[in-house]
Amino acid sequence: MGAAPSTPRLGAGGAASPGAAEQMFAALVGGKAYPISSEFWRQLLELPLTQQWPRDRVLQACHAFAQNNYHTKHLAKILIHLVWCLQDCLTDSSVSNAAYRKAINAAYISSIFLKFIIENAKTDNWQELSLEIDKDEKGLETFPFEQSVEYFLMRAILNYIGSVDVSPESCYLHHELLNLMLVLMSTQLCSGPSPEPKDVHPFIDAAMLQDSSIVSSVVQKLLLNFVKRPRIPLNGSHPTFSDDGEPGVLQRVGSAAANFVLLPYYTFNYLMSSNAEGASSQLAENSLLVLLILIHYRKCITMNESIPSSNVYTSDLNTNVKYAPSFHDNPYYKALNNAKDSQYDRADVEGNAQNGLVVRLSFASLFDALGIWLKDESSVLLLYSLVHGNCDFQEYVLVRTDLDTLLMPILEMLYNASRKTSNQIYMLLIVLLILSQDSTFNASVHKLVLPSVPWYHERLMHQTSLGSLMVVILIRTIKYNLSKLRDVYLHTNCLAILANMAPHVHRLSAYASQRLVSLFDMLSRKYTKLAELKNDKAIKVISDQIEADNISDDTSTELHIYTDFLRIVLEIINAILTYALPRNPEVVYAILHRQEVFQPFKNHPRFNELLENIYTVLDFFNSRMDMQQLDGEWSVDKVLEVINKNCRSWRGEGMKIFTQLRFTYEQESHPEEFFIPYAWRVVLSRG
């Protein structure tokens, strides 16, 4: 792109010739500063822009724009024009195609150059953006100078998203604004994994300062977009297309720019798609991504604490200063957590009129949408955020009678754990752990019978309970983790869910019962191997004693971990036998069938008390078996017949009552260290 002409002009009659588009963009990225009141901006934003440029020219244009922006302030000016375009779209009763085109073009052009500047910025305070403007410049008489450009911009974007319903006419602008939001908030990608006081994120910080009315309307609209998944019309009549229906230069700029900036840019991907259903979900997906970034953001404040040094004789100069991070409240996070079910107004019951700023939507529709789209990692993160943070939604989930709507997709994803990220597995398990804290949930899952489980390939499952399937999948996840991930935290979560479920188990299937006993067998083998390794005298003759000590320490730590795991499994079996034995003959059969696996631990000081109850049950049923007069060999059916008969007469005599294991989920003290990077990884993966 050559030097900018002094006055770029359109073709005859205002038509956009290829040369005119070239001139306009050359002027935009060039060194001449155009006043904000110049006719140049109107002409630029009204261009249909049908010319196409190769990647190297797009990159050249971005370099020129970033270099000249220090002087021209063209980025700030086009952002202000975007705000004015959005205001026009809000105030006009019937918005014209030209108004939409100007707003879409302003958002899109801004996105391209913002992405490049953010990716290539060298300063921590984003001086490269050059958002300061001259208050005395003509055309800015009505600009609210008590506001920064970034606040002015974010207020307009959020206000439009929150107040304008998605329609066939406005959907393109909504989509473009959501993409721009992701770009604006992507300054976080240039910071460290943990928020620090020195971090500057001008646009998302401005979003956090918006009025509560805007915040609640944005959260509500983003959730509704996710639920309703508005369809985007795929036709060439929209003004962002060229006359022949092909994508114009702006789309071309976007696709080229996406090749050399970090944050993937999916703007107008839907325009290129031939799959209408896939295209219609793009706006819903981007709405959810924007929501996740907003709710998990944390703005750090520092509280200085004076901490004496370890030296007893300390002076003022010898005092350490510890920075204890603290965070501003996140209004979007609070709005999501306080969202209410529009079909059940608690205010009517409690007599407390709720503030009109509360987010309201149908929990039934949200529940169903989550069940359908839970295969997407972004939906899993939303489900976690709702179940953990919103008590009303958690309560709603727990009273649903069709829990399989939500649980079957979760269990299927855990079944396919090898294809999922470790973070996704964590989120799914934590959701199950939170739900399993409720005794009603644990009872309900065993009452819901599934006709079949088509995605479970190792064994045909017909008429199995949802609870039995949960037990099978959780044990399978433990075995997968033991062989592949070897993650203690994942192990603990799986066992915690099983422990919470144990006292409420009802008619556990034969397969689930066998898996439970085989889990003890598998962990006991691992434990025995570690114990033998620790006690192996040969380790003492290793020449390097330090290395030997290290090996011994590592083995001791792992042995301690597996000791705890074995105890939890024994407590799970104990809880079933103590509180639910008459309802679980298959569990009794499974421990009778594999009773030899418990023998090595019968006199073990760490396990003997937990095994006493198991042996009380074994002795009771073994004696009943011995008393039977049997013609021929024992069969499975005959053994189960004896077990069922004696389960009815079981009174639990001689059983010791242990305190029930109850696990609850608590977030880490600094959840932002996990959730901010994780939310952005989800955004990046969508590319």
**Regarding beta strands 340-341 and 360-361, do their DSSP bridges make them parallel or antiparallel, or are they unpaired?**
parallel
Q: Which residue has the tokens 């989120």?
A: 427
Q: Cα dist. 286→166, 472, 525, 583 in Å?
A: 13, 35, 48, 48
pLDDT, position 273: 35
Write the DSSP assignment of 487-518 as a string of letters.
-HHHHHHHHHHHHHHGGG--S--HHHHHHHHH
Question: Residue 304 — φ and ψ, nearest 5°?
Answer: -80, 130
State how far Cα 653 lies from the chain centre.
Answer: 48
Reading the block at residue 227, the tokens are 């639920």
Mean pLDDT, each 10-residue run in order, the chain (687 residues): 47 57 91 95 84 81 95 96 94 81 94 94 89 88 91 97 93 94 95 85 96 97 96 57 39 36 31 39 94 95 48 37 70 97 67 65 97 94 97 96 96 94 93 97 96 95 96 96 84 96 96 97 92 68 53 77 93 95 95 95 91 94 84 83 91 88 90 93 88
Report, in this order, helix, strand and coil percent for the chain, each rounded to 5. Answer: 65, 5, 35
Q: Cα dist. 372→93, 159, 432, 568 in Å?
A: 37, 29, 17, 34
Reading the block at residue 251, the tokens are 């789309």
pLDDT, position 349: 45
pLDDT, position 321: 45
Cα pseudo-dihedral 96, 99, 100, 105, rounded to 10:
150
Which residues have C-beta within 8 Å of that of residue 75, sequence separation ≥ 6? 65, 69, 110, 113, 114, 117, 129, 130, 131
Residue type, 634: W
Question: Residue 607 — φ and ψ, nearest 5°?
Answer: -125, -15
* Contact in structure between 662 and 500 (CB atoms under 8 Å): yes
Closest CA to 431 of 488, 390, 462, 486: 390
Reading the block at residue 107, the tokens are 């958002």
CA–CA gap between residue 125 and residue 236 (Å, rounded): 42
* Contact in structure between 406 and 374 (CB atoms under 8 Å): yes
CA–CA gap between residue 388 and residue 384 (Å, rounded): 6
* Contact in structure between 248 and 172 (CB atoms under 8 Å): no
Question: Residue 507 — φ and ψ, nearest 5°?
Answer: 50, 55
Which residues have C-beta within 8 Å of that of residue 376, sequence separation ≥ 6? 285
* Contact in structure between 51 and 1 (CB atoms under 8 Å): no
- Partnered with residue 462 across adjacent β-strands are 452
Burial class of residue 38 (count of CB atoms within 10 Å of its CB; 0-12, 13-18, 19+): middle
Instruction: Report the residue count for the chain.
Output: 687
Which residues have C-beta within 8 Å of that of residue 313, sequence separation ≥ 6? none
Strand spans (E) along 378-460: 449-452
CA–CA gap between residue 375 and residue 410 (Å, rounded): 8
State how far Cα 54 lies from the chain centre.
Answer: 36
Q: Sign of the C-alpha dihedral, residues 649, 651, 656, 661?
A: positive
Reading the block at residue 173, the tokens are 């602008």
pTM: 0.87
